[in-house]
Amino acid sequence: MSAFDTILIANRGEIACRIIRSARALGYRTVAVYSEADAGAPHCEQADLATCIGPAEAKQSYLNAEAIIAAAKRTGAQAVHPGYGFLSENAAFAEACARAGLVFIGPPASAIAAMGNKAAAKRRMIEAGVPCVPGYQGEDQSDEALLREAERIGLPVMVKAAAGGGGRGMRLVQDKAALLPAIQAARSEAENAFGSGELILEKAVIDGRHIEIQVFADSHGHVIHLGERDCSVQRRHQKVVEEAPSPAADAALRSRMGEAAVAAAKAIGYVGAGTVEFLLDADGRSFYFLEMNTRLQVEHPVTEMVTGLDLVALQIRVAAGEALPLKQDEAVLTGHAIETRLYAEAPHQGFLPQSGLLAAWQPPEGLGIRVDHGLRAGQTITPHYDPMIAKIIAYGLTRDEARRRLIAALERTVALGIETNRGFLIDLLKHEEFAAGRASTRFIPQHFAAPARPAADDGLLAAAALLWFEHSAASLGHDPARAWSSTGRMAWPLLLDDGQAKRKLQIATLGPDRYQVEDKLLHVVQRRPDALRVAIDGTECDIAYCFVGDDLHLASGGADLTCRDVTYQLPGAAEAAAERELRAPMNGKIVAVLAAEGDKVKKGQRIVVLEAMKMQHEMVARADAVIDKLPVKVGDQVASRQLLAALTPNEVAKQP
């Protein structure tokens, strides 16, 4: 008999939805928790019960162990699934659950703790015979000891924070002169970030591949591995593309790495789902233990697609005390799966995270396509949490089939209202180096370090012209569909601003649903509330669109476009407005107010500082001015476009 019948999911977004799906399939009641910012989110609606655990800030909600345990108590949950991130690798939380009589659906607290410190973990792995990168993981942390050890290891070396993980607090040192400064900077950074300045040193493995092994252990002493995932395509330690199997692994390498991963899990008394990260050397044969993630990983779906297993269901079974339902030789990999992470971010602005309204959202469907997400159209992407919109995953019998399906799926994906990395993902998947299966950890820095803003798509511009034309015609009381018959051919000038340039376009009506925009012929074949089927110069395609405030967002194929109609905007009006008003560029929190109502300020003077997406945005006066209104204070949460300050520029004040 199982010890629990109700599972609380201590997480949000796509992973909460994912866990609810498997928990329900196994017959468990599910409890969602949510912060005030997530009230009414899909993960709440999908659970049997949902309960609020605190304010938007993660520290006060999803990271608040006491609030989560109290939520489990009041809803009658006897088990807690932590998902990934938040409290998933917090040994103290796992322990607190146990003390409260709750089953933690994850490894024992001791196993989490064993991998929490890189130095201790590495010493243990070396003892267990798991290959590690040659390095230093000793207790003497003096500058002298670290310098001496670095000399012994030989440059280049990696300096890593023992308490860090996922690449945080890591430094590559190429030459001797840079060594001491790097050690000192890394130590002080680690002290600030993790409360411990302990460092380890490793020989740097250049141009390696990040290959991780999925392991599973039950509480009866069985440990198996489920093959590897290749996560080499990363940007600043943020995974972007993940796949299984690795194009760099054959059966022999897989079983060697698998055995090492199983040994690692056994050495720490592991139970449940875990991932052992390795670096595969450029020689394609040597591999080294990096770290172990003691949780379900974001990228677990690719393993599910090639093994046919449900990893969340396995986690629950193991937590309920069942033995693993399969033996090592029953774990068979078939076909290939590739996952991409769709983020709300602007690749051409240094991948700046975006927040705001997801006005339209149509995840792709189709054979071999899986989308894990926890969103619906009309929802706001808040700056409080990770800006991942969805994981889009494709399966194929071959790697290239999976890759083609994924590209096509991304081209059908509609995510409008905020900028996303959709086009960037398509470009990555189409790159010849990725297509050939040769992308190493240097792939993104080498080929996509600073992606340019894609040129506006002519077809989308033509469709935008048509939609704005109909919009203005309707607001002036014309019926655009009839305009041609009463007045004959009508030409209408438009000035569209796509944030990059203002474009003059002429649109002329040729007949019902037939238009000419510049040199393109447009025939509207079908109208839906959120999309048009349009033939452009005789070739039909779907164009998804939505109006949000003054903006029109459109997407077709791999292209996106946002533009506004500025035909009747006086030149300079936007600049003049910017001198009179400071508005929040995105959702965020006011962290400093540096002026007061009535103050005289100089052009360029800072007035408020907004923190959004972990970055500070200084809002400065655009002209010498007097502050009329300053309706915000430190700590205020503000929405995108919200008024932060109203000013009267001196130039205006002087006018009679």
Q: Applying CB under 6 A, does 210 fall inside the site for ligand MV4?
A: yes
Q: How far, in Å, CA of 502 to CA of 62, rounded?
A: 44
Q: Applying CB under 6 A, does 133 fall inside the site for ligand MV4?
A: yes
Q: Applying CB under 6 A, does 237 fall inside the site for ligand MV4?
A: yes
Q: Applying CB under 6 A, does 205 fall inside the site for ligand MV4?
A: yes
Question: Alpha helix (H) ranges present in 391-517?
Answer: 399-412, 422-430, 432-435, 443-447, 458-475, 483-487
Residue among 533, 546, 617, 631 at smallest CA distance from 581: 631
Q: Applying CB under 6 A, does 297 fall inside the site for ligand MV4?
A: no
Q: Applying CB under 6 A, does 234 fall inside the site for ligand MV4?
A: yes
Q: Applying CB under 6 A, does 119 fall inside the site for ligand MV4?
A: no
**Greatest distance between any 2 Cα atoms in the chain:** 89
Q: Applying CB under 6 A, does 246 fall inside the site for ligand MV4?
A: no
Contact with ligand MV4 (CB under 6 A): which of 158, 264, 298, 522? 158
Q: How far is the CB of 399 from ligand MV4 (least distance, A)?
A: 19
Nearer to ligand MV4 by Cβ, of 240 and 524: the residue is 240
Q: How far, in Å, CA of 612 to CA of 618, rounded?
A: 11
Question: What residue type is assigned to position 627 of the chain?
Answer: I
Q: Applying CB under 6 A, does 131 fall inside the site for ligand MV4?
A: no
Nearer to ligand MV4 by Cβ, of 170 and 626: the residue is 170
Q: How far is the CB of 156 from ligand MV4 (least distance, A)?
A: 8
* Stretch 576-635 residues interacting with ligand MV4 (CB under 6 A): none
Contact with ligand MV4 (CB under 6 A): which of 315, 441, 587, 640? 441
295 is catalytic: yes
Q: How far is the CB of 237 from ligand MV4 (least distance, A)?
A: 5
Q: Which stretch binds ligand MV4 (CB under 6 A): 36-44, 116-124, 196-204, 222-230?
A: 196-204
Q: How far is the CB of 186 from ligand MV4 (least distance, A)?
A: 13
The CB-based long-range contact list for 299-302 (8 Å cut-off, 24+ gap) reads 299/229, 299/231, 299/239, 299/242, 299/339, 299/391, 300/214, 300/273, 301/337, 301/339, 301/370, 301/372, 301/391, 301/393, 302/229, 302/242, 302/243, 302/244, 302/337, 302/338, 302/339, 302/393
Cβ–Cβ < 8 Å for 87, 98 = no
Cβ–Cβ < 8 Å for 531, 522 = no
Q: Which stretch binds ligand MV4 (CB under 6 A): 204-212, 264-272, 338-346, 640-648?
A: 204-212
Nearer to ligand MV4 by Cβ, of 167 and 649: the residue is 167
- Measure the CA dihedral 7/37/610/166, to 10°: 20
Q: How far, in Å, CA of 86 to CA of 168, rounded?
A: 16
Cβ–Cβ < 8 Å for 153, 134 = yes
Say which residues have a Cβ less than 8 Å from residue 109's Cβ, sequence separation at least 6: 91, 92, 94, 95, 98
Q: Which stretch binds ligand MV4 (CB under 6 A): 102-110, 229-237, 343-351, 505-513?
A: 229-237
Q: Which stretch binds ligand MV4 (CB under 6 A): 199-207, 258-266, 318-326, 569-577?
A: 199-207
Q: How far is the CB of 436 from ligand MV4 (least distance, A)?
A: 19
Q: Which stretch binds ligand MV4 (CB under 6 A): 201-209, 392-400, 502-510, 523-531?
A: 201-209
CA angle 508, 510, 514 (to 5 degrees): 95
314-323 in b/e burial notation, b at 16+ Cβ within 10 A?
A: bbbbbbbeee
Cβ–Cβ < 8 Å for 645, 610 = no
Contact with ligand MV4 (CB under 6 A): which of 89, 242, 277, 470? 277
295, 405, 422, 622: the catalytic one is: 295
Contact with ligand MV4 (CB under 6 A): which of 77, 113, 265, 279? 279
Contact with ligand MV4 (CB under 6 A): which of 166, 437, 557, 649? 166
Q: Applying CB under 6 A, does 212 fall inside the site for ligand MV4?
A: no
CB atoms within 10 A of CB 177: 9
Contact with ligand MV4 (CB under 6 A): which of 113, 121, 183, 290? 290
Residues engaged in binding ligand MV4 (CB under 6 A): 133, 158, 166-167, 202-205, 210, 232, 234, 237, 277, 279, 290-291, 441
Active site residues: 295
